[in-house]
Amino acid sequence: MQLLNKKPESLLDVKMHYCPGCGHGIIHRLVAEVMDELGIRERTVGVAPVGCAVFADTYFNCDMIQGPHGRGPAEATGIKRARPDTIVFSYQGDGDLASIGMAEIVHAAIRSENITVIFVNNAIYGMTGGQMAPTTLLGQKATTCVEGRTAKQAGYPIKMSEMLATVDGAVYLERTTVHTAPGVLKTKAAIKKAFQNQVDGKGFSMVEILSMCPTNWGTRLDNPSEATKFVAEGMQPVFPLGVYKDAGAEKK
Amino acid sequence: MAEKKLMKGNEALAEGAIRAGCRFFAGYPITPQNEIPEYMSWRMPQVGGAFVQAESEVSAINMIYGAGATGVRCMTSSSSPGISLKQEGISYCAGADLPVFIGNVMRGGPGLGNIAGAQGDYWQATRGGGHGDYRTFVMAPNCVTELGNFPHKCFEVSFKYRIPSMVLTDGLLGQMMEPVDFKHPEIDPKSLPEPDWALGVARGRGKRIVKSYDLKEGGVEIMVNERVKRYQRIEASEVMYEEKMLEDAEVALVAYGISARVSVAAMKMAREKGLKVGLFRPITLWPFPKARLVELSARIKSFVVVEMSLGQMVEDVLLSLNGRAPVHLYAKPGASLITAEEVCAALEKIMKKGAKEYAAVK
Amino acid sequence: MYQGIRISGFGGQGVISAGVLLAQAGMMDGKEVSFFPAYGAEMRGGTANCSVVVASDEVTTPIVSMPDTAIVLNEPSLAKFEPMVRPGGLLIINTSLINSRPTRKDIRILEVPCNAIAAGLGNGKVMNMVALGAFAAATGAISVDAIARALPKVYKKLKPEVIELNVNALRRGAEFKVN
């Protein structure tokens, strides 16, 4: 018998707390596979956010830190500047990165901190129970906009990759999705590139990953296609996939 | 001995931190502490350290949270409103047992207040300021030389007990220039052992986690109780204070930082008028020198607390003495400098009237 | 000896640098010293002042609220600091720029045309040195020579001829006597 695929060494064999159908587990595994493949596990420090991925510190098999809501890029800055021999990634959700942590992510990009940011966008606050996120779609229902988000009352969903693409210091920005198998493969390639950029000293890289939240979207848990359909038909038109910046490729 | 150098208090604090092995600084401009980030911005690269002008005080304290987690000696500084912004991060540092160093160059408050020197952040510094059950080691220098030397002690205590530490000073001490005498030999960070909790390059060891949470039932209680034991050790062995002319004193002025300097002048004036006055200066504000105050109360008739606030440290004096002696207060809030003449006049009033009860005497 | 000094004038008159120089000179002379500048918002709008203490014993309050000597270099400074001088203290007035006369009778007055003398030496910038020279001679708290020795420590980039010009200004100021 031949072992074709094994659990990555960079992910611990512990039970995750994520809901059925959630994308975090997939994304954790992709990050871990990349750490394995690049051989950087032993010098990687991960920053866990506040939000659904708060327990990421217990899942990854590398040094981890968990800090205040939204401040991951600041923590990552401190770690990287104090110990430039480490590889540092900040793992953040949409409330963490695009709401409370907006200043930190933008300024980390402005300084072109040589860090990797994994941004999981599922258009909802998960851990706190389904409140409106900065990326919640117009018309999408949440517990703080029960009739659906309106532009008049709550403004528009923020497009982080597009916005950060205007920042000179941002080196690599790509939006991917994990709601399809090809999307998962593309996401892994993007994550790998975002880490490779850091290894090569290129500067700030972020992968924005569209992900599912069946629990808080209210889609049926026994029918995952409802959630994947929301990504494809609801989120993707607002958050188009693609490379928004690849300055590293231009600089030779 | 090296030639004495005239330095600004803020610069001495920055240089003192570097001499104590600090190799990462993050801060944000705010008067009256701007000389600290300014100094660090050119000095850090000279010693192979890193300086970041953060986008906010919030970000700066979180950079320190990250840098501190790697075991590198690191510092942030600010003035009152900025220190308020840092409180969440300080709470996290305390909750994650990170030995980070913070400078607070106090100004008038609340709110935007003003930019003159004040002492209104005593409660914030000694009571936590951020959320949750924790302590911060707090030192209050009264001159530029102490500003230059206290970072050494702060880092020592911080790393020994894994607790955030703070130098609590004010705009007067920060802005003034005095000859500074760095008493400690310079620390080469490479000579310091790498802590067994520090994040970084694993080289075969298991993963490490820096965090302040524990969602298991009773988990946080266990964490805090373990911390309390360290706090008790600090209270038992790290208290610092200074006494002047207390041997024959009937009344002790109790003051810290800049107020203690004013009190020395007041004490001398009062002595010239035949009043037996001495000075008790807490150097560590937490741990507060409670036991020594109790000892002194056996022979000191009353205590007069002098503060540039509405009266904050006076509560620690009252708690320490617990009714053993009358406590009076001469306080001035709003970043208004107390003069020696005022304090001396207050002493005359108290000592000649023989007031027995706690009262604001202004 | 405990000498509390206030120096005040327009920004650009060298108020702050004169204060630092005095403190440096005092320190090099083996005395206890402190210097405290007005800072931040106080500095915006063109006026500057500082406190200097030179003492044989420890310096207590760095802000001099009742100066033994006030050196006022412009009109607004006279109005602000004349009332603060300790009875029996000294008020040094730059008569080149101040037309008003002090009203107090319980203090000593030293009138020095600082700008005029500095201009006579060929550089109006050294007017602050003229004032310091007058202070040194009138109080004896610190010698002109001590201030001269401190000059290259505070102004590390000054050329020798500029240092000499400053020293000359100090010596010219020292020729003035209290009325």
Chain segment B315-328, per-residue pLDDT in tens: 999 999 999 999 99
Number of structural domains (chain B) is 2
As a whole number, the mean pLDDT across chain B is: 95
Share of chain A above pLDDT 90, in %: 93
Per-residue pLDDT, B4: 83
Is the same domain home to B229 and B281? no
Count chain B–chain C contacts defined by CB atoms under 8 A.
Answer: 63
Is residue B210 one of the residues assigned to a domain? no
Chain segment B90-112, per-residue pLDDT in tens: 999 999 999 999 999 999 999 99
Is residue B297 one of the residues assigned to a domain? yes
Domain that includes residue C23, residue range: 2-174
Per-residue pLDDT, C37: 93
**Is a pLDDT exceeding 60 seen at residue B344?**
yes
The beta-carbon neighbor of A65 closest among B54, B201, B211 is B211
Chain C residues near residue B172 by CB distance under 8 angstroms: 36, 62-63
Q: How far does the CA of residue A31 sit from the closest CA of chain B (Å)? A: 16
Chain C residues near residue B176 by CB distance under 8 angstroms: 34-36, 62
**Is a pLDDT exceeding 90 seen at residue B354?**
no
Per-residue pLDDT, B306: 97
Strand partners, B339: none
Per-residue pLDDT, B61: 98
Q: How far does the CA of residue B26 sit from the closest CA of chain A (Å)? A: 8
Alpha-carbon separation of residue A144 from A49, A151, A216, C73, C177 (angstroms) = 22, 14, 12, 64, 80
- CB of B14 within 8 Å of a chain A CB? The answer is no
What is the pTM (predicted TM-score) of this model? 0.95
Is residue B217 one of the residues assigned to a domain? no
- CB of A128 within 8 Å of a chain B CB? The answer is no
Q: Pick from B217, B237, B257: which residue ends a domain?
A: B237
Is residue C179 one of the residues assigned to a domain? no
| Helix (H/G/I), strand (E/B), else coil: C104 | coil
Is the same domain home to B232 and B283? no
> What is the secondary structure of A174-198 as a DSSP string?
EEEESSSHHHHHHHHHHHHHHHHHH
Q: Do C60 and B337 touch (CB under 8 A)?
A: no
Is the same domain home to B14 and B135? yes
Chain segment B57-73, per-residue pLDDT in tens: 999 999 999 999 999 99
Is residue B344 one of the residues assigned to a domain? yes
Per-residue pLDDT, B1: 47
Per-residue pLDDT, C44: 65
Count chain A–chain B contacts defined by CB atoms under 8 A.
Answer: 139
Chain segment A111-129, per-residue pLDDT in tens: 999 999 999 999 999 999 9
Among candidate residues B103, B101, B214, B200, the one with its CA nearest the CA of residue B159: B101
Q: Do B264 and C66 touch (CB under 8 A)?
A: no
Per-residue pLDDT, B251: 97
| Helix (H/G/I), strand (E/B), else coil: A117 | strand
- CB of B53 within 8 Å of a chain A CB? The answer is no
Tallying the residues shown for chain A, one arrives at 252
Q: How far does the CA of residue C61 sit from the closest CA of chain B (Å)? A: 5
Is the same domain home to B189 and B87? yes
Per-residue pLDDT, A251: 52
From first to last of its 179 residues, chain C has per-residue pLDDT tens of: 999 999 999 988 999 999 999 999 999 999 999 999 987 766 666 789 999 999 999 999 999 999 999 999 999 999 999 999 999 999 999 999 999 999 999 999 999 999 999 999 999 999 999 999 999 999 999 999 999 999 999 998 989 999 999 999 999 999 998 86
**Is a pLDDT exceeding 80 seen at residue B156?**
yes
Q: Which of B86, B131, B207 to mutate to test the interface with A (most CBs of A within 10 A)?
A: B207
Q: Do B32 and C59 touch (CB under 8 A)?
A: no
Among candidate residues B319, B327, B332, the one with its CA nearest the CA of residue B356: B327
Per-residue pLDDT, A252: 45
Q: Which of C39, C43, C151 to mutate to test the interface with B (most CBs of B within 10 A)?
A: C39
- Residue A106 is part of a domain; what is its CATH number? 3.40.50.970
C-alpha–C-alpha distance, residues A30 and B72, integer Å: 31
Is residue A175 one of the residues assigned to a domain? yes
Q: Do A103 and B56 touch (CB under 8 A)?
A: yes
Give the pair of three-digit tokens for residue B354. 């023989």
C-alpha–C-alpha distance, residues B106 and B31, integer Å: 9
Chain B residues near residue A91 by CB distance under 8 angstroms: none
- CB of B4 within 8 Å of a chain C CB? The answer is yes
Q: Do A75 and B66 touch (CB under 8 A)?
A: yes
Domain that includes residue A225, residue range: 24-250
- What is the mean predicted confidence (pLDDT) over A229-238? 97
C-alpha–C-alpha distance, residues A167 and C33, integer Å: 50
C-alpha–C-alpha distance, residues A59 and A89, integer Å: 14
Q: Which of A83, A88, A99 to mutate to test the interface with B (most CBs of B within 10 A)?
A: A83
The beta-carbon neighbor of A63 closest among B23, B88, B200 is B200
Q: Pick from B216, B237, B258: which residue ends a domain?
A: B237
Q: Do B202 and A63 touch (CB under 8 A)?
A: yes
Chain segment A3-48, per-residue pLDDT in tens: 888 899 999 999 999 999 999 999 999 999 999 999 999 999 999 9
Strand partners, A177: A210
Is the same domain home to B233 and B246? no
C-alpha–C-alpha distance, residues B23 and B17, integer Å: 9
Considering only residues 159 to 178 of chain B, which have any Cβ-Cβ distance to chain C shorter than 8 Å? 171-173, 175-178
Is residue B11 one of the residues assigned to a domain? yes
Strand partners, A117: A90, A206
Asked if B253 contacts B278 with a C-beta cutoff of 8 angstroms, the reply is yes
Residue of chain B whose Cα is closest to the Cα of A101: B59
- Residue B273 is part of a domain; what is its CATH number? 3.40.50.920
Chain B residues near residue C26 by CB distance under 8 angstroms: none
**Is a pLDDT exceeding 80 seen at residue B361?**
no
Q: How far does the CA of residue C26 sit from the closest CA of chain B (Å)? A: 10
pLDDT category, B218, cuts 50, 70, 90?
A: very high
Is the same domain home to B286 and B167? no
> What is the secondary structure of C26-86 as a DSSP string?
HHHTT-EEEEEE--GGGGTTSEEEEEEEEESS----SS-SS-SEEEE-SHHHHHHHGGGSP
Note whether B touches A: 3 CB pairs or more under 8 A. Answer: yes
- In which residue are the tokens 């202070």 written? C135
Is the same domain home to B76 and B195? yes
Is residue A18 one of the residues assigned to a domain? no
C-alpha–C-alpha distance, residues B283 and B272, integer Å: 26
pLDDT category, B337, cuts 50, 70, 90?
A: confident
Per-residue pLDDT, A4: 85
- CB of A175 within 8 Å of a chain B CB? The answer is no
Per-residue pLDDT, B358: 52
Binning chain C into helix, strand and coil, the percentages to the nearest 5 are 45, 20, 35
Chains that touch B (3 or more CB pairs under 8 A): A, C
Per-residue pLDDT, B355: 61
Number of structural domains (chain A) is 1
**Residue B345 CA to its chain's centroid (Å):** 29
Is residue C142 one of the residues assigned to a domain? yes
- CB of B23 within 8 Å of a chain A CB? The answer is yes
Q: Do B65 and A60 touch (CB under 8 A)?
A: no
Q: How far does the CA of residue A191 sit from the closest CA of chain B (Å)? A: 21
Domain that includes residue B64, residue range: 5-201+225-237
Chains that touch C (3 or more CB pairs under 8 A): B
Residue C149's Cβ-side half-sphere holds a number of Cα atoms within 13 Å equal to: 13
Q: How far does the CA of residue C130 sit from the closest CA of chain B (Å)? A: 23
Is the same domain home to B252 and B172? no
The beta-carbon neighbor of A57 closest among B88, B89, B211 is B211
Considering only residues 197 to 216 of chain B, which have any Cβ-Cβ distance to chain C shorter than 8 Å? none
Q: How far does the CA of residue A180 sit from the closest CA of chain B (Å)? A: 32
Number of structural domains (chain C) is 1
C-alpha–C-alpha distance, residues A51 and A53, integer Å: 5
Helix runs in B162-256, H state only: 171-175, 219-237
Tallying the residues shown for chain C, one arrives at 179
- CB of B112 within 8 Å of a chain C CB? The answer is no
Chain segment B255-273, per-residue pLDDT in tens: 999 999 999 999 999 999 9
